[in-house]
């Protein structure tokens, strides 16, 4: 048996209070760039990259692609190295005028080993000025919940990473999974009693025969008395609950809550971690279902139902801000934080 005390999180990275916002910066000059660090925990062939941006006016040609990293004394310890490994040139006039996370298919897919890379957007050729430019998302204005969020930071106009405390807002799609942070929107949803909302979770086996869960990490506000956090097993039998105080007048923040005693969960079974009752819950909207794989080493999908009985509706393009605090696990083995994916592995 290995005593661990760790967390299984769906990349919970939230603002101290209120919704995270996207920091943006203009790329006004030829050669200006913005880069986002992405960490791959396995080797994969990357065919697409995702960046948050929009255009003003009719800028020239934009090069979007993947670069390696080099060591730096700035912020997170490394920056993009200036050499594109694979990319696509996009006419600035073809980029939307609406801010959003957009997907670009690389001219040539590239096989990459596990490690650190940067998703780079660069003003490549043609006209760029204050009226004809790319407005680029440089990261969420967030506070990271420890190591679960992986590497953060963005660079704009220089080779250094800036914006300490920002969460990198770039991603890459591979043949095996998605890497990085493919957020399209962050949402608050007001839930009426007795509705239940949260994540369906399947824990991976690794070396663990079971996980003893002592608590929950979440960002929920109870808006009436009787609101609870619950865990159901795959037969929808309640395994435990936590009663939340009526904190509707409080500022919504990331919090930890603990059960009276540990709840034992087993690998390769579905569990439902939900908030039940009248509350405000939070979730991230993803570009597509496969992007969910970027958020956790374990399987998590958003789930909800309008009552406290019956089946849950599963939405693969969302992930709720709810995770597990693991107090103990069976089997030992080395626990790792697989880069941008968060969670633990035996």
Whole-number average pLDDT of the chain = 81
Higher per-residue confidence, 183 vs 108: 108
Contacts of 73 (CB under 8 A, 6+ apart): none
Say yes or no: 266 and 310 in one domain.
yes
Q: Are residues 227 and 164 in the same domain?
A: no
Do 174 and 259 belong to one domain?
A: no
Phi, psi values for residue 20, rounded to 5°:
-60, 145
- pTM (two decimals): 0.81
Give the pLDDT confidence score for residue 137 in this predicted structure.
80
Asked if residue 205 and residue 165 are part of one domain, the reply reads no
Rounded to an integer, the average pLDDT of 232-239 is 96
Residue 40: pLDDT over 60: yes
The answer for residues whose C-beta is within 8 angstroms of residue 216's C-beta and 6 or more apart is 229, 242, 256, 257, 258, 259, 273, 322, 323, 324, 325
pLDDT class of 344 with cuts at 50, 70, 90: very low
Grade residue 75 by pLDDT with cuts at 50, 70 and 90. very low
DSSP 206: T
State mean pLDDT over 95-103: 93
Question: Could you tell me the two tokens for 200?
Answer: 């369906």
Shared-domain flag, residues 304 and 257: yes
Residues 36 and 177 grouped into a single domain? yes
Q: What mean pLDDT is predicted for residues 270-280?
A: 95
Q: What is the DSSP string of 12-44?
A: -EE-SSS---EEEEEE-STT-EEEEEEEESS-E
Closest alpha carbon to 291 in 189, 220, 185, 187 = 185
59 and 128 share one domain: yes
């Amino acid at each position: 048996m290995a005593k661990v005390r760790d967390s299984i999180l769906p990349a919970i990275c939230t603002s101290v209070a209120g919704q995270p916002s996207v920091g943006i910066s203009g790329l006004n000059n030829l050669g200006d760039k913005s880069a986002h660090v992405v960490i791959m925990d396995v080797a994969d062939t990357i065919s697409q990259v995702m960046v948050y941006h929009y255009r003003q006016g009719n800028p020239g040609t934009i090069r979007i692609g993947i670069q390696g990293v080099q060591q730096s004394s700035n912020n997170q310890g490394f920056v993009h190295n200036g050499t594109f490994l694979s990319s696509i040139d996009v006419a600035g006039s073809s980029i939307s005028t609406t801010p959003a996370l957009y997907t670009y298919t690389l001219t040539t897919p590239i096989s990459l080993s596990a490690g650190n890379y940067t998703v780079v957007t660069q003003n490549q050729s043609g006209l760029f000025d204050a009226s004809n430019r790319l407005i680029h998302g440089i990261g969420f204005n967030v506070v990271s919940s420890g190591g679960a969020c992986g590497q953060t930071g963005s660079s704009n106009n220089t080779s250094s990473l800036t914006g300490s405390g920002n969460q990198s807002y770039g991603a890459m799609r591979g043949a095996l999974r998605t890497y990085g942070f493919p957020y399209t929107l962050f949402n608050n949803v007001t839930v009426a009693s007795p509705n239940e909302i949260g994540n369906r979770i399947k824990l991976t086996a690794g070396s663990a025969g079971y996980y003893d869960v002592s608590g929950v990490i979440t960002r929920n506000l109870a808006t009436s008395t009787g609101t609870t956090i619950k865990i159901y097993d795959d037969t929808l039998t309640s395994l435990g609950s936590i009663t939340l105080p009526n904190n509707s007048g409080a500022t919504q923040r990331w919090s930890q809550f603990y059960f009276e005693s540990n709840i034992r969960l087993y690998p390769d079974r579905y569990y439902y971690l939900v908030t039940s009752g009248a509350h405000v819950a939070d979730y991230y909207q993803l570009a597509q279902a496969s992007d969910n794989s970027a958020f956790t080493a374990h399987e998590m999908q958003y789930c909800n139902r309008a009552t406290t009985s019956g089946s849950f509706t599963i939405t693969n393009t969302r992930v709720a801000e709810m995770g597990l605090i693991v107090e103990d696990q069976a089997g030992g083995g080395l626990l790792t934080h697989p880069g941008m994916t968060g969670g633990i592995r035996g």
